[in-house]
Amino acid sequence: MRIACFASGSGSNVEAIFEAIEDGRMSARCVLLVCDRPGAPVIERAVRRGCDVFVFAAKEYPDKEAFEREIVAELERRGVERIILAGYMRLIGQVLLEAYQGRIVNIHPSLLPSFPGKDAIAQAFHAGVKITGVTIHVVDEGMDTGPIIAQESVRLDNDMTHEELQKAIQRVEHELYPRVIEEWIKEGANV
């Protein structure tokens, strides 16, 4: 299965996916990284792994449709079958949704539907919840509203700092995401 990873930042989930592919836990090949932030650390991670990279700055395009058309062309050029969002901080628009309907998956650092959108870890931390977690879902036109594939909880201890919670969430993400992606690929999951 030929996949593309989309990311905007450090790329720790992308790194976990690369490692799972390399050690045989995932039967996929990441043929493209799409990044909307020139200079983001995830770019170096992908280059180190020999993965093609498409980097763009949204402000250089007249609208979302224009940069998404270019992304779809890059994906099609490489025969990408599935898209894995791994810290991509943009809502997916109609151009990508139509081209990859039911074939885009996202990871979110909360137990959706609680705390959708940006800064979900901080939202949960400041709300004082005792349990939060990680959700993997199929992407639709909403913000973190698509059908849920998997969830795993993370308990907040009373003396836990925001940074400790973030690390706990990332540990779960790095183990759960590759495993769920592999199951999703094997099932041919067009949800």
- Phi-psi category of residue 115: left, alpha or beta, with phi > 0 → left and psi -120 to 50 → alpha: left
Write the CB contacts of 36 (distance below 8 Å, at least 6 apart in sequence). Answer: 8, 55, 56, 57, 58, 88, 89, 90
**Those residues with Cβ within 8 angstroms of residue 170's Cβ, 6 or more apart along the chain or in another chain:** 12
Instruction: List the structure tokens of 190.
Output: 């067009």
Q: How many CB atoms lie within 10 A of CB 170?
A: 18
Catalytic (active site) residue 108: yes
What are φ and ψ of residue 88, in 5° steps? Answer: -85, 120
Q: How far, in Å, CA of 72 to CA of 56, rounded? A: 13
Q: Which residues are catalytic?
A: 108
